[in-house]
């Protein structure tokens, strides 16, 4: 995974459409969004965040916050990329800082901040690996790219996931 395993956008969309979600909590997400007033989305890769705009458009009648990393790890989106693709037209963009060289996704401050949202959607396997055990009922959308994560979830590697944990 990472830069060595790139698919073109059409290839990636076709792959997910054909394969379907190995774990599919879409109905649960849809129901949660129907009641939600405040929604947080945790972005992932710089090249993929433009695909979040249709989701943000659908949720535009809610208070939206879009979180990106303060600086990239490998190819993570930052405020610069989020602003560049127009995410700020739909959501308040916020950067998750680094504390002592480590991304602060698990900091008490950030976890408390996430508790203030009715729905949290986190994209990418890295966000899943970092936040899946915090017990906030986060919806994770990602490809289970590595054997360890796939085995943990009981799915095949490269399985598309929409799972709430």
pLDDT digits (tens, 9 = 90+) for 77-102: 999 999 999 999 999 999 998 877 67
**pLDDT score recorded for residue 1:** 46
* Over residues 23-48, mean pLDDT: 96
pLDDT at 114 over 90: yes
Q: Which residue has the tokens 């800082």?
A: 97
On average, the pLDDT of the chain sits at 92
pLDDT at 54 over 50: yes
Rg (the chain; Cα; Å) = 15
**pLDDT score recorded for residue 101:** 66
**b/e 131-141 (16+ beta carbons within 10 angstroms → b):** bbebeeebbbb
* Over residues 100-110, mean pLDDT: 82
pLDDT at 4 over 70: no
On whether the CB atoms of residues 84 and 46 are closer than 8 A, the answer is no
CA distances from 154 to 72, 110, 137, 148, 163 (A): 30, 29, 19, 10, 12
**pLDDT score recorded for residue 122:** 98
On whether the CB atoms of residues 96 and 104 are closer than 8 A, the answer is yes
Q: Which residue has the tokens 């986190």?
A: 122
**pLDDT score recorded for residue 16:** 83
Q: Which residue has the tokens 């799972």?
A: 163
pLDDT at 50 over 90: yes
**pLDDT score recorded for residue 38:** 99
User: How far does CA 154 lie from the centroid of its chain?
Assistant: 20
Q: How far apart are CA 163 and CA 165, in angstroms?
A: 6
**Where is average pLDDT lowest: 87-101, 128-142, 150-164?**
87-101
């Amino acid at each position: 995974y990472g830069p060595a395993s790139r698919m073109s956008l059409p290839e990636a969309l076709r792959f997910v459409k054909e394969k379907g979600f190995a774990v599919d909590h879409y109905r649960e997400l849809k129901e949660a969004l129907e009641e939600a007033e405040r929604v947080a989305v945790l972005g992932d890769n710089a090249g993929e965040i433009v695909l979040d705009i249709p989701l943000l458009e659908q949720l535009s009648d809610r208070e939206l916050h879009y979180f990106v990393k303060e600086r990239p790890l490998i190819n993570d989106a930052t405020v610069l990329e989020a602003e560049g693709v127009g995410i700020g037209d739909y959501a308040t963009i916020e950067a998750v800082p680094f504390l002592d060289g480590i991304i602060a996704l698990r900091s008490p401050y950030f976890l408390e901040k996430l508790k203030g949202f009715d729905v949290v959607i986190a994209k990418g396997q890295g966000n899943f690996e970092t936040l899946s055990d915090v017990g906030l009922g986060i919806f994770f959308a990602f490809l289970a790219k590595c054997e360890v994560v796939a085995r943990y979830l009981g799915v095949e590697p490269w399985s598309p996931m929409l799972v709430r944990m």
